[in-house]
A and B are shown apart, each in its own frame.
Chain A
Amino acid sequence: MLVIPTMAELLQQVCNGLLLGSLFALVAVGYTMVYGILRLINFAHCDIFMMAMYIAFFIVAPDSRWWFIGFIIVIAITAILGMGVEKIAYTPLRKQNAPKISMLISAIGMSYLLENLATVLFTGKPKTFPQIELLVGMIEIGPIRLQRLALVVPIVTFLLMVILLTLINKTKAGMAMRAVSKDLETAKLMGINVNSTISFTFAVGSAIAGVGAILWGLKYPQISPLVGVMPGLKCFVAAVIGGIGNIKGAVLGGLILGFVEIMAVAFFPSISAYKDIFSFAILIIILLFRPNGIIGEKIAEKV
C-alpha cells in the first residue's frame, strides 16, 4: 500500500501540493466572503468559476498573444457576472426577508441554471483552455522539474490575499463590508449602503474566482459545464475547515486540502480513485472537533 517516494519526488509533490492548495484557496476566498456577509453558501460560486473558464476560452483562445489583457477582461466580466447572480438570485429574497433556507434553495437554483445554460450555450463537449507557453512551460530547479505555474500560482495567491486583507481592514469599503457582516440591520441604520456593499463583495469574490479559474484552466485545461462542481465543493469545504467568514482561514483550508490530496495520492497510490472523498472526510472530522473551523470565531446564538 504505502509507497515511499524519493527526496526529489517528495519535493516535487510539495510543489504540487502548494499549487493545488493555492488554487483551492483562490476559490475558497469567494465562498468565505459571501458567507461572511450574507451567512449563505453561494452554491453558484463554483459555476461563476466555470463560466470564467469559458469566458477566458472565448476571449483568449482566438488570439493568445494578448493573453494578459484578455485575462484582465475575463476577470472584469466575471466580477460583473457575480454581481448579476446576486441581483437575480439573492436580492429579491433579501428584500422579502425570506428565511435562509429559501436563499439557499435560490442559490442551488442559480447554480443549476448556470450549469444548464453553459450546456446549451457551449454544448457538453469539453473544450481545451488556451495554453500560455510562458506560464505552463517547464523549468528545472535542481532535481525537480516544474511547470512555471507551480511558482506563479502561490505567488499570485499570496499577493491577492495581502491585497484583499488590506482592502478589508484598511479601506472604507472594507469597513462597510465588516460592518454589514457583523450586523446587517444595524449597518443599514448607520447609513451604510448595504446593497452596494453586498454587490461589491460579490464582485470581489467573483473576480478572485476568475483569477482562480484562469490559473485552474492553465493547470487542468479541460472545460465542461460541470467542471466547477468538484472544485466548488472542495473549496467550500476548504473555507469551512479554515473557519468560514475568515479570509486567512480560507487560504489555510485550501492549502491543507491541496496538500492532503496530493500527499495521500503520493504515498498511497492505490487509493487515488478515492481522492475526491478526502476533503469530505476532513470536513467531517474538523466539524466534529472544531465546529467553527481552525481559526474561526465562535458565533453564539442569542437566546
Chain B
Amino acid sequence: MAAILETRDVVIRFGGLVAVNLLNIEVEKGEIISIIGPNGAGKTTAFNLITGVYKPTEGVILFDGERISGKRPDEIAKIGIARTFQNIRLFKSLTVLENVLIATHLNIKSNLFSSVLKTPKARKEEKEMVEYAEFLLKETGLLHLKDEKAENLPYGLQRRLEIARALATKPKILLLDEPAAGMNPKESDDLTEFIKNIRDKFNLTILLIEHHMQLVMSISDRIYVLEYGITIAKGKPQEIQENPAVIKAYLGEENDDLC
C-alpha cells in the first residue's frame, strides 16, 4: 500500500543548527504512528515541517503522492492535515463552540455578502456548520460546555477541545503533539481509548508525539525515535523497546547496569 504521508530526506537548518536531519517518515492510511525522543530531538519541528509552519531546507514532503512542502499551513490544512499544539493554542476568549466552528470555516462555500445578508443558502450552510460542530463536541464529551469560554476549561478538556477543533477541519491525517502531557495514568488510559475511537469513527490516520511510554506502546502501530534531529530507530513497539540505541538515548550509556 502506498504511503498517505511521506517525508523524503527532509532537512531543516536554523542558522548553523540542524534541527531535523534526513527525516524519512512513511505513514500508511489508518495507522497510528508515534514519534518519540528526548526533549529537543526535533519532534515538534517535524510537525511544523509537515504542517507548513516551516519550509524544509532540503527534501520534500508528500501527501497522497502530491508534494505539500512549500505550501502554506492553511493550504495544507485544506488538503487534509490537521494538528494540535504542544502548548495548547486555543482561541482563548472565544467559546468552545466558536473554537470548533472556526475550524469548519475552511470549507465554507457562501461568500461574505450572502453570509451577512443571510440568504437561505448561507443560512443552511451555517446551520450545517453548527450541527457538525455540536456533533464533534458531543463525540468529545464537551457539548455541555459549548458556551463556556475556552480559557475557562480545565487543562485536560482544553486538550480535548483542541482535538475536536482539529477534527472540524475534516482531516485525513491528525497530528497530535503531546496529547497526554500533564495527564494522570487514568486520564491517559482514557485518552488511548479516545484516540483509537476517533481513528475508527473518522477514518483517520494519526501521527503523534508523546513522552508517555505506556500510551505510546499500547497505541502505536509503529514508532519513530528521534535524537538530535536524526532518526535513530523505527519499528513496531516491541522492537523499539528492545532496541539498544533507543535505550541508550533515553537512559544514557553509563546507566546500563541500572536497567
Asked if A and B form a direct contact in the complex, defined as CB atoms under 8 angstroms apart, the reply is: yes
Interface size of A in residues (CB-CB distance below 8 Å): 2
CB pair B14 A300 closer than 8 Å = yes
Bound CA span A300–B54, Å: 10
Q: Which residue of A lies closest to B53 (CB)?
A: A303
Q: Is B110 an interface residue (CB 8 A)?
A: no
A249 to chain B, nearest CB (A): 18
Instruction: State the A residues within 8 Å of B (CB).
Output: 300, 303
Instruction: Name the B residues within 8 Å of A300 (CB-CB).
Output: 14
- List 3 A-B pairs, minimum CB-CB distance, nearest first: A303-B53, A303-B48, A300-B14
Bound CA span A198–B48, Å: 34
Bound CA span A34–B59, Å: 40
Bound CA span A303–B85, Å: 8
Write the B50-65 contact mask toward A (1 if CB under 8 angstroms, else 0): 0001000000000000
Bound CA span A303–B43, Å: 12
Q: Is B220 an interface residue (CB 8 A)?
A: no
Interface size of B in residues (CB-CB distance below 8 Å): 5
Instruction: Name the A residues within 8 Å of B85 (CB-CB).
Output: 303
Bound CA span A303–B44, Å: 8
Bound CA span A300–B45, Å: 12
Q: Which residue of A lies closest to B14 (CB)?
A: A300
Q: Which residue of B lies closest to A297 (CB)?
A: B15
Interface residues of B in 111-147 (CB under 8 A from A): none
Q: List 5 A-B contacts (CB under 8 A).
A: A300-B14, A303-B44, A303-B48, A303-B53, A303-B85
Bound CA span A300–B55, Å: 12
Interface residues of B in 1-37 (CB under 8 A from A): 14
Bound CA span A303–B14, Å: 14
Bound CA span A300–B44, Å: 14
Bound CA span A244–B242, Å: 52
Q: Which residue of A lies closest to B45 (CB)?
A: A303
A187 to chain B, nearest CB (A): 21
B128 to chain A, nearest CB (A): 31
Instruction: Name the B residues within 8 Å of A303 (CB-CB).
Output: 44, 48, 53, 85
Q: Which residue of B lies closest to A301 (CB)?
A: B53
B45 to chain A, nearest CB (A): 9
Write the B159-190 contact mask toward A (1 if CB under 8 angstroms, else 0): 00000000000000000000000000000000
Q: Which residue of A lies closest to B177 (CB)?
A: A303
Bound CA span A49–B241, Å: 66
Bound CA span A55–B85, Å: 53
B248 to chain A, nearest CB (A): 29
Instruction: Name the A residues within 8 Å of B14 (CB-CB).
Output: 300
Q: Which residue of A lies closest to B15 (CB)?
A: A298
A101 to chain B, nearest CB (A): 15
Bound CA span A205–B239, Å: 61
